[in-house]
């Protein structure tokens, strides 16, 4: 059905199509009976897929990445469609508008997106109040992550204001989130990626770890860029391990454009911003493998980048991921893709004679 609707949606500007999709999810978000029916149809429990990590239980390893629901508008609806977790945001301490339009582009030949939105959101406290008013993570029904980033108007040099900005977002997020992700890797906020350097990352993440110890404690992860050289990535992972972070999200979008089949003129017209979708997959897998080797067996690794099929999920698991997330695949695959992938993944495991996803992953020697 979505294959018939998608060409009509893709006639619209991406921002308008997203707004239409969010509007279509409103009844599911606000009517409990509809959510219950949807859950029974699209979020069927599958014992083979249950994943336990970070002290949390995920009915499916397939989650929705940050960026789709920046303001916690549709978390309950998205969970009802079959996602095993939902990561909201990215939120910032100071609410802010998107970067100047146009700021979101499709590359259909590559099933990819380019965005330079720049963390538009209502502000961390406002977004968390909205989530709380709707019953919090418990009402969503699946683990809820919240991605936090730096407010655009807060400088990085000196670093202290940026750290205070992240800490303010963290304080708000942890009151409702099941886990929090420090996003230091978006290419769409000026100078943000310098925070991935080991020295600056240690200062920032140390402050967040300290804050985490002073109140309600939640698993804290860091989201890394695919564009880091391996040596830079290893240095950042050393910091994450040293500070006892719960794990990493691998990866954010890429500023690279290599290997695209889209006409160069169209790529150039899209301009700067983060590229997501299948062109990112190979590097994301490399980063997952490196992170698993560096962080060991106990860390949680969430793989992100070009996931479209159950085979993609298995490939990320084999590389070392505990969980996976999708965003661009949701845009191109439609609202039922998480449910479909869970069904297909369950069937694949049954065909392999695996009683549980963990059994297959462990047999492949992760860590």
Q: Which residues are catalytic?
A: 186
What torsion do the CA atoms of 256, 2, 131, 214 make, to the nearest 10 degrees? -40
Torsion sign (Cα): 49, 52, 54, 58: positive
Buried residues in 56-93 as b, exposed as e (16+ CB within 10 A): bebbbbbbbbbbbbbbbbbbbbbbbbbbbbbbbbbbbb
- Say if CB 253 and CB 280 are below 8 A apart: yes
Residue found under tokens 């301009």: 271
Sign of CA dihedral 92, 96, 98, 100: negative
CA distance 37 to 81: 10
Question: Torsion-angle region of residue 141: left (phi > 0), alpha (psi -120 to 50) or beta?
Answer: left
Q: Using an 8 Å Cβ cutoff, are 226 and 289 in contact?
A: no
Token couple for 202: 């240690």
Burial status of residue 296 (CB atoms within 10 A of its CB: 0-12, 13-18, 19 or more)? exposed
Nearest CA-CA partner of 221 in 128, 129, 112, 89: 89
């Amino acid at each position: 059905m979505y294959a018939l609707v998608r060409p009509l949606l893709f006639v619209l500007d991406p921002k308008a199509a997203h707004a239409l999709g969010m509007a279509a999810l409103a009844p599911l978000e606000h009517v409990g009976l509809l959510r219950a029916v949807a859950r029974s149809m699209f979020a069927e429990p599958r014992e083979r897929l249950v994943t336990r990590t970070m002290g949390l239980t995920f009915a499916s390893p397939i989650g929705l990445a940050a960026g789709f629901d920046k303001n916690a508008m549709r978390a309950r609806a998205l969970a009802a469609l079959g996602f095993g977790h939902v990561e909201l945001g990215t939120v910032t301490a100071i609410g802010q508008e998107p970067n100047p339009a146009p700021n979101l582009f499709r590359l259909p030949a590559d099933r990819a997106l380019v965005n330079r939105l720049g963390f538009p959101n209502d502000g961390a406290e406002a977004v968390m109040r909205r989530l709380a008013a709707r019953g919090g993570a418990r009402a969503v029904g699946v683990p809820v992550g919240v991605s936090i980033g730096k407010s655009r108007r807060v400088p990085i040099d000196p670093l202290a204001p940026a750290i205070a900005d992240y800490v303010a977002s963290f304080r708000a997020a942890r009151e409702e989130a099941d886990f929090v992700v420090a996003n230091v890797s978006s290419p769409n906020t000026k100078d943000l990626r310098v925070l991935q350097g080991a020295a600056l990352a240690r200062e920032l993440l140390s402050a967040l770890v300290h804050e985490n110890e002073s109140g309600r404690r939640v698993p804290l992860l860091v989201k890394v860029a695919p564009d880091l050289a391996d040596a830079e990535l290893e240095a950042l992972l050393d910091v994450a391990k040293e500070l006892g972070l719960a794990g990493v999200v691998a990866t954010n979008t890429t500023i690279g454009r290599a290997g695209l089949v889209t006409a160069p003129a169209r790529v150039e017209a899209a301009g700067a911003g983060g590229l997501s979708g299948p062109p990112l997959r190979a590097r994301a897998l490399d980063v997952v493998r490196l992170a698993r080797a560096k962080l060991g067996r106990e860390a949680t690794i969430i793989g992100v980048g070009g996931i479209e099929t159950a085979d993609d999920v298995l490939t990320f698991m084999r590389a070392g991921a505990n969980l996976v997330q999708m965003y661009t695949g949701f845009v191109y695959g439609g609202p039922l893709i998480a449910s479909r992938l869970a069904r297909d993944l369950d069937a694949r495991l049954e065909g392999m004679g695996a009683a549980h996803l963990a059994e297959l992953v462990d047999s492949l020697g992760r860590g």
